[in-house]
Structure 1
Amino acid sequence: MSRQMTTSAFHKSKTLDNKYMLGDEIGKGAYGRVYKGLDLENGDFVAIKQVSLENIAQEDLNIIMV
């Protein structure tokens, strides 16, 4: 599969710190959502987890971060 075909699912306007391009949502759970990402430096695919900090106790946040 060519790089051009694989990057078409990504939102070119949605980049994180000019390092990752954000793609489609691939999952969700109790604490947040997971998106497909593309590392703009080396072209590797990554998973990007967006965690909602709303109503999360500090102890739980520490566990999630690990």
Structure 2
Amino acid sequence: MAKRNKGTPVLKAQKETNTVFVPHPVVDVYYLTSDGSPFYLESAAQDYAQELNNKTIQKITKTNQ
């Protein structure tokens, strides 16, 4: 029997976007790889994603709060 997927790291990280922006208040965007790793440079996220099975990268922007 296959295991159920109880949520991807991306969804967990999206709920906690403030934890990425708080230490760096000047940053307005970061890039999230499919395993939930955040990067401030898109090129760094792309390099890291090359080693993953799922190579998708999601752009996360700071919302006005």
TM-score by length of 2: 0.28
Normalized per residue, which structure has more strand?
1
User: Relative contact order (C-alpha < 8 Å, sep 6+): which is higher?
Assistant: 2
TM-score by length of 1: 0.27
Normalized per residue, which structure has more helix?
2
